[in-house]
Chains A and B, each alone.
Chain A
Amino acid sequence: DSGVTQTPKHLITATGQRVTLRCSPRSGDLSVYWYQQSLDQGLQFLIQYYNGEERAKGNILERFSAQQFPDLHSELNLSSLELGDSALYFCASSAATGNTEAFFGQGTRLTVV
Chain B
Amino acid sequence: AQSVTQLGSHVSVSEGALVLLRCNYSSSVPPYLFWYVQYPNQGLQLLLKYTTGATLVKGINGFEAEFKKSETSFHLTKPSAHMSDAAEYFCAVTYGSGNTGKLIFGQGTTLQVKP
User: Chain A residues in contact with chain B, CB under 8 A?
Assistant: 2, 4, 31, 33, 42-45, 48, 56, 58, 90, 92-94, 97-107
Q: Which residue of A33, A45, A98, A106 contacts B97 across the interface (Cβ within 8 Å)?
A: A98
Do B45 and A94 touch (CB < 8 A)? no
Contact between chains at B98 and A99 (CB < 8 Å): yes
A56, B96: Cα distance in complex, Å: 13
Residues A101 and B49 in contact, CB atoms below 8 Å apart: yes
Are B98 and A31 touching (Cβ within 8 A)? no
Bound Cα distance A94, B101 (Å) = 7
Residues of B within 8 A of A56 (CB): 99, 102
Are the CB atoms of A31 and B97 closer together than 8 Å? no
For the complex, give the distance between the alpha carbons of A33 and B49 in Å.
Answer: 18
Q: Report A-chain residues with C-beta under 8 Å of the C-beta of B42.
A: 106
CA of A4 to CA of B104 in the docked complex: distance in angstroms?
A: 20
The 15 listed contacts between A and B (C-beta, < 8 Å) are: A4-B43, A31-B101, A42-B106, A42-B108, A43-B108, A44-B105, A45-B102, A45-B104, A48-B102, A92-B101, A101-B100, A102-B100, A104-B36, A105-B43, A106-B41
- Interfacial chain B residues near A103, Cβ < 8 Å: 46
B residues at A contact (CB < 8 Å): 32, 36, 41-46, 49, 51, 90, 97-108
A90 to B45, CA, bound (A): 12
Find chain B residues with CB under 8 A from A2 CB. 43, 45
Besides A101-B46, A102-B100, A106-B41, 16 more A-B contacts (Cβ < 8 Å) are: A31-B101, A33-B101, A33-B102, A43-B105, A45-B104, A56-B102, A90-B43, A90-B44, A92-B44, A97-B101, A98-B99, A99-B100, A102-B103, A104-B43, A106-B42, A106-B43
List, in ascending order, chain A residues with CB within 8 A of B51's CB.
Answer: 99
Q: A2-B43, A90-B44 are in contact. Are A102 and B107 (CB under 8 A)?
A: no
Is B45 a contact partner of A104 (Cβ separation < 8 A)?
yes
Known: A42-B105, A43-B90, A45-B104. A97 touches B43 (CB 8 A): no
Chain B minimum-CB-distance residue to A4: B43
- B99 near A97 with CB under 8 A, answer yes
Whether A104 pairs with B104 at a CB distance below 8 angstroms is no
